[in-house]
Structure formats: structure tokens, C-alpha cells
A and B are shown apart, each in its own frame.
Chain A
């Protein structure tokens, strides 16, 4: 299993392949406007939305400023209710801890609700290598597990898979069902997945879920889902493991409500997901169901190193996916091109933090800096600024390609000489206008093949900004 080895350094090649993938392009076209308009409507329906974003930002900043103390308070509450907290510094730590719990439980099958932290730690690969079968129960995650893929979107992991590809995957995997069954409509596909997974819920000895939040006041983990799979995964097996990164802490139940109010609206345009579940500890004395053991694996994996740096604000992220839904680059190439677990603008910032700028440095370049990601981020994370910070670091570490470095060097030299810069821009405008001729459009341009290969370049109209400014004063 090599699924989790990042292909982020190959972003350009990945992106080219994604643009040529007709199925992917059709799937992306389908989801694009949908997610944008749903979020816009949800935002418009709640006049206080922007105030809530401010409060969500502030509460997370308060946690990050004293993260050590909030973690200790949270841990004490979990222990008080009979749960166990495991601290994982690295992905390998998390793999080892999860495997130890599964082995102690005698697990052959492990059911999984949706958890990005598990993807980050490649838990599935590790379980399989050790003879334990992980079963993804989120419908989208299940589909991509059958196809041997990783999620292409953090909220809609199978957004790149067409309906016919789902049918193909089901026919290949569900060989116990009649080969001539009718899977021509969406309802039949859903019904089949429901039936197959319903059986699996009862087989697993361990259930793993993620956590959208950890509440310091109570020691609860919170998950939000629409399918109910996370709840079945945690209620039926004997052991429940929560995998959470340590910045998921919120101080109180009221703070959790603030995050909930912006989370679903930003993610899917819903006022609330169907299921919002607060879990704490194992089943109580007298409880007829629920797990007998409750474990929380708290993952660091580089996050505490982000505290106090230019990238601390990224730890406010609540994984709603709004940034990628609104990103022109993500909308064009989808999630797989980003080459690792976290795609889109949030992935472009987080990936170099977690796997290093050497591996992930390509991603912050995959941005037009249009700023829509920051404009829609419910936690007001300055994503473009942080991508710019990564570009600077990539440049400082001399990881930027030679031609780009040379080009930037020339530009910087000219830009620092205003008279020369103005002369150069005036000359460039004049010559471009000449090339554009009467049509005002340029068919091909040296060094700009990336633009003119697909469309004409409009010739500049009017004068330079500085010249116009001088006239108006």
C-alpha cells in the first residue's frame, strides 16, 4: 500500500492529468456552482453570520494562546468519565497506538466514521499491513476505499467519482449479490450500500471516528454527519477510538454552538447537519448499548511547531471545505492533484507545515491570490497571506525553479528603479498594443504560451497607472 506517499512535488503534472480527465471534469462541473450557491444562501439567511465568524475566530485564538492548559483541562474531564487519552507526537505514534488498542480488543474488523486525521496518519494501510480490515462507512469514503483512492475533497470525498463508476465499484466488490441486479438508478445504489454496510456495523470490534471538536468543559468529542455512519460506528462496536488533532479544542458547550453555527453553513449550506453528537467516555452503568471502552488519540504531528509562527492561524481551521469549494484552482483540477490528504487553499497552507516545504512547497504556488478562500473562511484564516509566506520560504530555501528565480531577480532589479520601471512598462504597453493591432487581441506571445495557448491575450488599453494618476492629480 503506497496510497499515502505524497505526490505533492508533482503538482503540475497532476494538474495537467486532472484537466485531461473527462470524467473528473464532468464531476467537478456538477459540484462547482452547487456548493457556492448553497453556502451563499445559508449566509444570506443568517444576518449574524459575520459576527459569528468573528466569535469563532476569537474563541479559537483564545484556545491556541493557552493550548497546553486547555488540553490538560480536557484530558482531566475525559479521564474523569472513564475514557483514556493517548498522546501521539507523530503519525507513526498514532498508528502504533491505534494498532495496540485494536489488538487488545482482538479486532479483526474496524469500522471507520469519517476522519481526516486517520487519512493523515494512513491508519488504513497500517491496519491492513497488520492483518486487520478497516471498513470506511461514510458512503463517499466507502466508494473511494473500494476504488483504492484517497479523498479528493474533505467533505465530499468521492466528488470526482461518476455514478457509473460507483456502479462498477459496487459490482466488483459486492459479488455475493446477484450479478443481474438493477443498479441503474441512484436509489438502488444507495440501498445496496446501506444493506452491505448495515451488516458490517455489527461485525466490527472497534469503531474509529474523527472529531469536529473536543470540549474542554466536559471532555466530550463532537462529530457532525448527515449519514449517521459515525454514530453507528461508535455505538455498536465494543471499543470506540476518537482520532483528533489537538487544535480541535473549544472551551465550552456555548463555544461549540458558535462553531456549529458557522460549520454546516460553510460546508454544505445546511443550517445544521442531520446528526450532531456529543460523546464522552464509555457506556454508563445500566446503559444497554454504546462502547465499553473510549479512547482518544490526540495527534500533534507538527502542529505545536506552528504555534507562535506565521502559520498559527491555520490551526483555527474547522475543515468545512468552503475554501476549496470557492477556489478557481481547486474547481479546475480537483483534490487529487494536490497529492496528499488536504487539498485546496487550506491544504496548500497546511501541507507544507505538516510534511515540509521541500515536499509540499508546490502547493502554495497553486493560487491566483484571488482571495475568495479568505473571504468565505468561517474562521477568517488569512490563507493568501500564508501561501505568500510559504512562497517566500520556498524561495529562501532555493527550492524555486532556476528560471523562476532568475525572472524574479530581473523583475526585482527593475522594480527597485522607478524611472526604469516606468519606461519599461510604457514600452511594453506600446509594443503590445502594436502587436494587438485593430482587433486589440494577441494570438501568441513569447513567454506567455500558457495563456495564449488556450485564448487570446487582450492588448493593453490606455496608459500606465502612473501616467493616469499623474494626469488626474
Chain B
């Protein structure tokens, strides 16, 4: 951005440096590098420490409390049938917008017309796969990319999300560890708890502000 912006940077950093007290610059640098490499360990809240079958129970309860709906699917091949059932129940057309998610590629979708691509202005049904779930808050975490375009998460009027039960984490602590271990580096990580909402009109909460009016999670066993 030219010379003026460069010197603004220098002046800002110089003021921050002048205010930093005590240790020498190399010591400070080592301290900050270490702090960024490892946050100090702290006990997770109980709410973020569920395990065993209780973790799934808590995840489902928290997701429902955030106004999401849920269904359990015994294995992936059952997913098209479960989606078809939900679409009929909700009086929605037998369509779904998806990305190139490999998990969906090998399935027999029957009468459901899947179209691949990004979100459009009118998008009645979108289908995504979440990388992880967080039992702490009943949320799913999606990674943007070709497999799951980010616009599908926000433009679908009803958003269906597939989550493997094994990918449900207890809370943010194990979630970040698992996230790093999977080596993911998408442009956006979208942590989603329920459908969109606003209380900006008359301070009364209404679902479906700009994003989905409904969020339905399919939890696939195993």
C-alpha cells in the first residue's frame, strides 16, 4: 500500500514496543513464540468433557436446544432414504444442492435429484458434510472447499448436514486437537449451532434471518 502505510505500521509497532516493559527483546520474542505454540493447559469445563454414550446424548440435547432437528442413520447407505423421508415430511421438493463431497458420491440417491455447485439465490435444500461435532454446544464444524462449498451452509433454506458419530468431540479442547491432526486448512471453518435467527425486530427471537430457516443433522453411526 505505498510508503505511508508502511510507516503507519512502524509507528504503531513502535508505540506497542515502547509500552512493553521488562524483558529484553529476544526474551520477549521467545516467550511470545512459546505462548503461541502452546496455550497454557487449563481444565475444560465439565460441559466440554463428556465421553462414552453420554457424549452423543449431550450433543443431541444441545443441538435440539439450539433449534436444530436430528435423525440417526445406522450406516451411510441409509442416508438417501433418510433424506427422502425428511424432504417428504417437510413438503420440500426432491432436490438437494451439494458439493463434490466424496462421502455422497457413491450413494444411490434414488428419486432425489442432486445438483452439484455453489449456493444460488433460491436454494430450497442444501446438503453438507461436517468434519466434526461439538457436544459442548451442540454444534457442527464444517470446512469450506470444493467438497462442501461455504455458500451451501448459508443459502439453503433448509440445510441438511451429515455427521459421523465418531467425529463428535466433547468440546473445544479435543476439537482443536482433532482438527489439527486431520491437517485441514480451509479458508473458513464454520461452527454452526442451529438455524439462523434474529431478535432485531421487536426483540422477539425468530428463526431464519438470512441463513437457513431449518437445520437438520443426520448422525451416521460408527
Residues of A within 8 A of B (CB): 27, 30-31, 34, 46-48, 52, 55, 59, 62, 65-73, 84, 86-89, 93, 97, 100, 137-140, 143, 156-159, 162-163, 166, 186-187, 189-190, 193-194, 197-199, 201-202, 216-217, 220, 226-229, 231-232, 235-236, 246, 251-255, 257-258, 260-261, 271-284, 286-290, 298, 300, 304-305, 307-308, 312
Contacts and interface: CB of A to CB of B under 8 A. Distances in A.
Interface string B185-222: 11111111111111111111010111110000000000
Contacts of A232: 151, 154-155, 210-211
A274 B201 contact: no
A274 B200 contact: no
A304 B99 contact: no
Nearest to B189: A278
B111 interface: no
B39 A252 contact: yes
B85 interface: no
Contacts of B144: 287, 289-290
Interface residues of B, number: 79
Nearest to A226: B197
29 contacts: A30-B203, A62-B35, A65-B20, A65-B21, A66-B20, A66-B28, A70-B32, A70-B36, A71-B12, A89-B12, A137-B210, A139-B198, A157-B200, A163-B202, A193-B201, A198-B210, A199-B121, A226-B197, A226-B209, A227-B196, A253-B39, A254-B39, A274-B193, A274-B197, A276-B193, A279-B187, A284-B145, A287-B187, A307-B15
Given A260-B172, A282-B187, 13 more contacts: A69-B32, A70-B36, A198-B121, A202-B121, A228-B209, A232-B154, A252-B38, A253-B39, A274-B211, A279-B188, A288-B99, A300-B15, A304-B12
A86 B153 CA distance: 30
Contacts of A137: 210
Contact of B208 (A70, A190, A217, A251): A190
B208 A194 contact: yes
A254 B41 CA distance: 9
B31 interface: yes
Contacts of B38: 252
Interface string B14-26: 1111111100000
B150 interface: yes
Interface of B: 1, 5, 8-9, 11-21, 28-29, 31-33, 35-36, 38-39, 42-43, 45-47, 62, 66, 99, 117-119, 121, 136-137, 139, 144-146, 149-151, 153-155, 171-173, 176, 179, 185-204, 206, 208-212
A137 B151 CA distance: 16
A290 B150 CA distance: 7
Contacts of A158: 200-201
Contacts of B17: 68
Closest 7 CB pairs of A and B: A228-B211, A307-B19, A257-B172, A140-B200, A227-B209, A304-B15, A254-B39
A159 B204 contact: no
Nearest to B32: A69
A113 to B, nearest CB: 10
A274 to B, nearest CB: 5
Contacts of A62: 35
B45 A251 contact: no
